[in-house]
Amino acid sequence: MSYEYDDQNIFAKILRGEIPNDTVMETEHTLAFRDISAQAPVHVLVIPKGPYVCYDHFALEASDAEIVDFTRVIGEVCKAEGVQEGGYRVISNAGRAGVQEVPHLHVHVLGGRNLGRMLAKG
Ligand code: AMP
């Protein structure tokens, strides 16, 4: 499968500085910022700066440096947001079945309350 990246998506605009964001941390390859419509006391989005549509695109085509940086930032966000002890959930929605709204890879880091079961039945 080939991946087509739409550079007009809202996270691409955030990365270009065209739209403001509430940054939690930023590194060479990765940006973490608060979700505008938080679903838990902690709801941070972690995105790579590169043009990757979804998780499998990133996992298959990103450089080792990007993958290491992205993964480390997820860990640093958990630490900085204080959810390590109480627990948290990391989610990445992809494509139609995953009901992905923004076509730029993002991982949701959620915590600060009991998040319930992973999926509602059916
Ligand atoms: P998904 O359904 O996984 O694609 O999630 C997209 C997420 O992006 C949602 O949780 C939205 O609330 C969030 N979102 C959309 N626009 C913005 C924005 N400008 N700043 C922060 N979060 C946003």
Residue ranges per structural domain of the chain:
10-111
Query: 18 in helix, strand or coil?
Result: coil
Instruction: Please determine, for residue 14, whether its predicted confidence score (pLDDT) is greater than 80.
Output: yes
101 lines ligand 1 (CB under 6 A): yes
Catalytic annotation, pick one of 43, 104, 106, 108: 106
Q: For the structural domain made of 10-111, what CATH number should be given?
A: 3.30.428.10
Is 18:36 a contact under the CB 8 Å cutoff? no
Q: How confident is the model at residue 122 (pLDDT cuts 50, 70, 90)?
A: low
48-65 tens-digit pLDDT: 999 999 999 999 999 999
Percent of the chain at pLDDT exceeding 70: 99
70-106 tens-digit pLDDT: 999 999 999 999 999 999 999 999 999 999 999 999 9
Question: What is the C-alpha to C-alpha distance for residues 51 and 118, in angstroms, rounded to an integer?
Answer: 28
Query: Is 29 annotated in the active site?
Result: no
DSSP code per residue over 40-96: SSEEEEEEESS---SHHHHHHHS-HHHHHHHHHHHHHHHHHTT-TTT-EEEE---TT
What integer pLDDT is reported at residue 1 of this predicted model?
78
Q: CA separation (Å) from 23 to 19, 34, 99, 121?
A: 12, 7, 24, 34
- Name the average pLDDT for the chain: 97
